[in-house]
Amino acid sequence: VSYDVPSRLEGWHVRHRGAASLEVSDFFLREENLAQPDEGEVLVRTRWLSLDPYLSFAMIGSGDSGASWPVQGRIIGEAVQSRAKNVPVGSTVLGTGQWREWNVLRGADVDVLPGDPHWPSTVHFGVLGASGLTAWVGMTLAAVQPGETILISAATGPVGSVCGQIARERGARVLGIAGGEEKCRLAVSRYGYDDCLDHRLPGLSDRLVAAAQTGIDVLFENVGAPSLDPALSAIVEGGRVILCGLAAHYRTGDPIALTNFRLILRKHLTMRGFAWTEHRDMHPAGRAWLTERLAEGTLAYDETVSTGLPQAAEAYVAMLFGKGLGKHLLQLP
């Protein structure tokens, strides 16, 4: 295969808006130069972009309205030229690159993917990558015991869907929160949940207290105030909150307002924020568990795929609004 490598190409940028809410119109394409790979670098043709909620932090910036940011996220692509010993030409790599068709990346910063014929490379973004390992590390920190009740928000997201399956295997009663009847149905039928509550229906707080029965022992929070505030009403004294994500608050820098923040004090709760990357000691066991179940075909996961670089901004904002299911990806043809 020979490629026509351009010297100039279009890449996505986003205007910082500080506290204001992120919109499709904040994104724009800008033409820029493509460098030649230097010693130790590789030229990568992008095949997939991972549309990750946490990128919003950088997108909205910190009040410096007017500046802009060249969007960089996790990409999977083909190494078309390589001056890095660890990266053979033609291999599939995962790294952090700009949202554009070509990137020059340092060989030391990319992972060469094994190219297993049994599953698509995109599992390394999701179920065998950050999402799956986040779920594994989170469930390990949650230390959920048989017979305990765990509540997981964003139950059908790329993390929540794996959490449900791990928590079920560990003998917990698994409750979820998701947006819409269809997602709630899938949480129970595919992802190991005993019950899933639709946050779009009224009275979530009362429904949570009822569904929790003797109370929620562990809350695994992916969303923020819309689920955390009512969930705190239903958590037991001495309960644990594992804070994995704040997806509802990534689009803006607005304060996060919680009426039930007081219950952290009054119920003597422990809340712990984490990222999978700070617990590398847990990764081998997590990778083994995930790989084994993926190979057996007993690990359910979903992807929502959009196509074409021009769709990136719309696909990204739709993901933030909870459209689609599982891991959100953009495929470059």
Q: What is the DSSP letter of 247?
A: G
DSSP 292-329: HHHHHT-----EEEEESGGGHHHHHHHHHTT-SSSEEE
From candidates 236, 243, 305, 318, binder to a copy of itself by CB under 8 A = 243
| 3 state SS for 135-202 | HHHHHHHHCCCCCCEEEEECCCCCCHHHHHHHHHHCCCEEEEEECCHHHHHHHHHHCCCCEEEECCCC
Compare residues 268 and 280 and give the one whose CB is closer to a copy of itself: 268
Compare residues 246 and 312 and give the one whose CB is closer to a copy of itself: 246
Token pair in block for residue 73: 């996220």
String marking each residue 25-64 x if it binds a copy of itself according to CB under 8 A: --------------------------------x-------
Rounded to whole angstroms, the Cα distance separating 34 from 28 reads 18
For helices 283-296 and 160-169, angle between their N-to-C axes, nearest 10 degrees: 90
Token pair in block for residue 13: 């940028």
From candidates 108, 201, 256, 288, binder to a copy of itself by CB under 8 A = 256
Token pair in block for residue 154: 């964003």
270 near a copy of itself, judged by CB under 8 A: yes
Considering only the stretches 77-85, 158-166, 184-192, 237-245, report the one whose residues sit in contact with a copy of itself under the rule CB under 8 A. Answer: 237-245
Considering only the stretches 89-97, 171-179, 185-193, 254-262, report the one whose residues sit in contact with a copy of itself under the rule CB under 8 A. Answer: 254-262
Compare residues 151 and 228 and give the one whose CB is closer to a copy of itself: 228
253 near a copy of itself, judged by CB under 8 A: yes
Token pair in block for residue 4: 């026509």
Name the CA radius of gyration of the chain, rounded. 21
String marking each residue 1-30 x if it binds a copy of itself according to CB under 8 A: ------------------------------
108 near a copy of itself, judged by CB under 8 A: no
| SS3 category, 109 | helix
Is residue 136 within 8 A of residue 162, CB to CB? The reply is yes
Beta bridge partners of residue 303, listed in sequence order: 327
280 near a copy of itself, judged by CB under 8 A: no
Token pair in block for residue 267: 């119920």
How many other CB atoms are there within 10 angstroms of residue 115's CB atom?
Answer: 9
From candidates 11, 230, 245, 286, binder to a copy of itself by CB under 8 A = 245
Size of the site for a copy of itself (CB under 8 A): 29
Rounded to whole angstroms, the Cα distance separating 221 from 231 reads 9
267 near a copy of itself, judged by CB under 8 A: yes
Compare residues 14 and 137 and give the one whose CB is closer to a copy of itself: 137
Considering only the stretches 21-29, 45-53, 73-81, 246-254, report the one whose residues sit in contact with a copy of itself under the rule CB under 8 A. Answer: 246-254
Compare residues 1 and 257 and give the one whose CB is closer to a copy of itself: 257
Compare residues 256 and 288 and give the one whose CB is closer to a copy of itself: 256
* Torsion angle (degrees, nearest 10) of CA 211, 273, 17, 153: -20
Compare residues 104 and 271 and give the one whose CB is closer to a copy of itself: 271
Compare residues 185 and 279 and give the one whose CB is closer to a copy of itself: 279
String marking each residue 193-232 x if it binds a copy of itself according to CB under 8 A: ----------------------------------------
- Residue numbers at the binding site for a copy of itself (CB under 8 A): 57, 238, 243-246, 249, 253-259, 261-262, 264-275, 278
